Chain A
Amino acid sequence: MTALLEVRDLRVAFGAAAAVDGVSFTVAPGETLGLVGESGCGKSTTALALMRLLHGAVTGGSAHFDGRDLLALDRPAMRGVRGAEIAMIFQDPGTALHPLIRVGEQVTEAIRAHQAVSAAVARARALDLFRQVGIATPELRLRAYPHQLSGGMCQRVMIAAAIACSPRLLLADEPTTALDVTVQAQILELLQTISRATGMAVILITHDLGVVAGMADRVAVMYAGRIVEMAPTAALFAAPAHPYTRGLLGAVPRLDQGWDDELPIIPGSVATAIAASGCRFAPRCPRADRSCRATPPLAPVAEGHLAACWHSG
């Protein structure tokens, strides 16, 4: 099976600061890849770089989507990809929708940006899409403004606009972080349903391991601009190979913990000034030693399971 998206050695720098430093991964058609890490680790930046929405940042590497390098396309061609072949939804639907434009128009303009259809046809399509994403009384909702809808409803509108042109890849950047817990589950289920029904691949970006566990086929764990571990979801949860992944899993509170037990934490925080060389997790790693001064490669530890740690063998 050939990959739908093949990212190779992606680098993004804002001025002198590298935010993404040599990230490589692939996404197969219809596959859902979870991209996990603490905030500031570069996961959102990776997605925005793929969409070429990072103004003023320097990018390097390649990202072949269906045979074309997204990073090398000219601007009109890239505009043809955005929204039509790769769509994106964001963390806070409250701010991602234009506050002064009716939500119906925000969906129809996505259609009409890529397809020469009349306003009436676009409207009918938007109505269909609203039904598809589970918006009740869609005729009424088309004329609503974002502030008249709940957060979950707004995210449904965002999804409707995103899938309007039947894209083959959806970049979902923390799509449920800003929502209530019960709504989170509904939105994730909706994404999963759409993905299965249409064969749309999804890159699901989140800091919440619970989210990827339920939805992703494979998971890539990012730390400080690099992927440190990548594995099928079940394998990752069963046998995390990288100390950072283990820390993340340990940091999810469990019901069988006693009240008085201290919550396990990963000491320290994401290094903002990235060290010149070596493993970037070393300063926070319980297993760090001299060997960690050299950068560990992302190497296989099992079938389809990669980890970047000298001690993962």
Chain B
Amino acid sequence: MSDILLEEIPLPAPAGRSHVLRRFVRHRLAVLGVVLIALLGIGAAGAPWLAPHDPDEIAISERYAPPFTAGRVLGADDLGRDVFSRLLYAGRISLAVGVAAMLVTLIVGFAIGAFAAYYGGWIDTLLMRLTDVMLCFPSVFLLLFVAAFVTPGLGSIALMIGLTCWMEIARIVHAQILALKSADFIAAAELAGAPAWRIVLRQILPNTLAPILVAATLNTANAILLESYISFLGYGIQPPQASWGNMLTNAQSDFQVDAWLAFFPGLAITLAVASFNFIGDALRDALDPRLRDA
């Protein structure tokens, strides 16, 4: 047919590395997010050196000191503890919970999604129905439900958050592996005689990586939000250990005395969560060539 000779065969342009980078940089907000995360990370990691005061040091005489008084940048709280120092230390906890919970969602989600897709049959049905059931629980409900019965601590909270938020990853992994199992280029690799491990390593993993990376970033943001909320309600990180969430526990009564107390921890949460969200959003754009103009 003349069609074959006259129509060009469309070849998808490969997303080159420089191309990915350029689109990433174009998302200035994401760059801003990376900078903010870096700053928050440095603040958290370097808290012991950067904090001007011991975060748990109580100074009754300086209760509710406003910012820039008594030598305290962000003032002091209801027990006279230095707010700036507590924010830095709280950042250690909140960011650690976020990252650890994200890792749990990755491990659980990948295991369940891959297991279901690989074995298929009733195992697939059972695991993916379980995923559906879990999606029906509003995660805040489930989290509070469990948190009320578990001794709170950094590890247990990260684990709980992770265990209530793995479903999206599982679905992505499941769908990707199913799609890739039947994809032409996998068949081509098989025909070319590539061993199975090589197919998984060279073909399946890179293709699955992009959406998972995006979901993981957004999960980190979500985990930080969830931690702050259960800590705010008193079921998360327990005082005197500070987390951004539990620094807000008394916010409502603090308003009447010192509104700044309720302002900075919330701002820290917002900045951290927004940064991860912006990065995740930009990653999605940068890694998915199909969304180029979307």
Q: Which residue of B lies closest to A252 (CB)?
A: B2
Q: Which of B1, B3, B6, B7 lies at the interface centre, i.e. has the most chain A CB atoms within 10 A of its CB?
A: B6
- Measured CB to CB, the closest approach of chain B to A65, in angstroms, equals 30
Asked if B5 CB lies within 8 Å of chain A CBs, one says yes
How many A residues touch the partner, as a band? 10 to 19
Asked if B8 CB lies within 8 Å of chain A CBs, one says yes
Task: Pick from A16-24, A206-214, A226-234 the stretch touching chain B.
Answer: A206-214
| Contact status B2-A210, CB under 8 Å | yes
Docked complex: B1-15 residues within 8 A CB-CB of A: 1-3, 5-8
| Contact status B2-A39, CB under 8 Å | no
Task: Pick from A121-129, A159-167, A263-271 the stretch touching chain B.
Answer: A263-271
| Contact status B8-A209, CB under 8 Å | no
How many B residues touch the partner, as a band? under 10
| Contact status B2-A208, CB under 8 Å | yes
Asked if A253 CB lies within 8 Å of chain B CBs, one says yes
What are the interface flags for B203-242 relative to A under an 8 Å C-beta threshold, 1 for contact and 0 otherwise? 0000000000000000000000000000000000000000
In the complex the two chains form, what is the Cα distance from A210 to B2 in whole Å? 9
Asked if A113 CB lies within 8 Å of chain B CBs, one says no
What are the interface flags for B2-32 relative to A under an 8 Å C-beta threshold, 1 for contact and 0 otherwise? 1101111000000000000000000000000
| Contact status B2-A251, CB under 8 Å | yes
| Contact status A265-B5, CB under 8 Å | yes
- Measured CB to CB, the closest approach of chain A to B6, in angstroms, equals 5
What are the interface flags for A194-213 relative to B under an 8 Å C-beta threshold, 1 for contact and 0 otherwise? 00000000000001111000
25 CB < 8 A contacts A-B: A38-B6, A38-B7, A38-B8, A39-B6, A39-B7, A39-B8, A40-B8, A207-B2, A207-B3, A207-B6, A208-B2, A208-B3, A208-B6, A209-B2, A210-B2, A248-B6, A251-B2, A251-B5, A251-B6, A253-B1, A253-B2, A263-B5, A265-B5, A266-B5, A270-B8
* Additional A-B contact list (17), CB under 8 Å, known A207-B2, A207-B7, A253-B1: A38-B6, A38-B7, A39-B6, A39-B7, A39-B8, A40-B8, A207-B3, A208-B6, A209-B2, A248-B6, A251-B2, A251-B5, A251-B6, A252-B2, A253-B2, A269-B8, A270-B8
The 4 closest A-B pairs by CB, nearest first: A207-B6, A251-B5, A38-B6, A252-B2
